[in-house]
Every structure is written in structure tokens, then in C-alpha cells.
């Protein structure tokens, strides 16, 4: 049971107004604490953004690469590269396709999504 679940249960029991108010204040404190990321979380996000820039630069020539190749090239673990590539895919920054690799079968290949000439004109 999480602290939030406990406090919500206390509120639902409506033992006394004082206890209910105290539980509500503690839930508000939880919300405030969770609204601002910790310094470590901010640093991790910044580091991940820097790695995403490296991935985009690596794929800038229009090539299709698999996560293990990208990981090797930018010196991160394959799982880290895969996670960041998944985020980039969800954001529409890279496209995913199936690539056949001898001895491995089909794996995901990633290609940088380029803005079309029309998109560039619309931006002007």
C-alpha cells in the first residue's frame, strides 16, 4: 500500500475532521513533491536529451541502423539506446522498420524522420 492509498483510505473512513484535514494536507504535500522532478531526475533527462542529439546526428545521413549498432557508435548500452529510440519513435523523431540481420532474424531498424520540403516552407 502506498502512502497516497493509505491517506485516501483514512479520508474515506472520515474518522474525524482533524484527521481528515491532516490526511488531505499530506496528500497535497505528496502532490507538490511529485510535481517538481528531483535534481537527479533533471540531470538524467538532460543526459538522455544529449544522447538523443547524438542519435539524431548519427542517423542524419538517412541510414537505417539497429539499436545495437547505435549503442556501439555512441558508447551506451543497447538497452539505453533502445529505450531512447522508443521515446524518439513515440515523439515522431525516428521511424521504425523491420530489418533482416543474418543470424538474428528480423529486428527493428531506426531511421531519422526528415521534415518534408512543405513543412520547411510552412515554418517560414
**Tens of pLDDT along 29-59?**
998 888 877 888 889 999 999 999 999 999 9
CA distance 49 to 32: 25
Which residues lie across from 105 on neighbouring strands? 101
Is the CB of residue 52 less than 8 Å from the CB of residue 88? yes
All structural domains of the chain, each given as residue ranges with its CATH number in brackets, are 3-35 (no CATH), 62-123 (1.10.10.10)
Whether the predicted pLDDT of 81 surpasses 80:
yes
Whether the predicted pLDDT of 122 surpasses 80:
no
Question: Which contacts (CB < 8 Å, 24+ apart) does range 21-27 have?
Answer: none
Q: Which three cell numbers stand for residue 120?
A: 520547411
pLDDT in the model for residue 115: 57
pLDDT in the model for residue 121: 46
Mean pLDDT, range 88-112, rounded to an integer: 92
pTM score over 0.85:
no
Question: Comparing C-alpha atoms, which of 91, 80, 84, 82 is closest to residue 113?
Answer: 91
Amino acid at each position: 500500500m502506498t502512502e497516497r492509498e493509505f491517506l485516501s483510505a483514512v479520508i474515506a473512513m472520515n474518522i474525524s475532521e482533524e484527521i481528515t484535514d491532516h490526511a488531505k494536507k499530506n496528500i497535497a504535500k505528496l502532490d507538490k513533491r511529485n510535481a517538481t522532478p528531483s535534481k537527479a531526475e533533471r540531470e538524467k533527462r538532460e543526459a538522455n536529451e544529449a544522447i538523443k542529439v547524438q542519435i539524431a546526428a548519427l542517423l542524419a545521413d538517412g541510414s537505417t541502423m539497429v539499436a545495437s549498432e547505435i549503442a556501439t557508435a555512441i558508447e551506451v548500452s543497447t538497452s539505453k539506446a533502445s529505450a531512447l529510440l522508443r521515446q524518439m519513435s513515440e515523439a515522431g523523431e525516428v521511424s521504425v522498420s523491420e530489418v533482416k540481420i543474418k543470424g538474428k532474424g528480423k529486428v527493428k531498424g531506426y531511421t531519422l524522420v526528415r521534415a518534408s520540403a512543405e513543412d520547411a516552407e510552412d515554418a517560414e
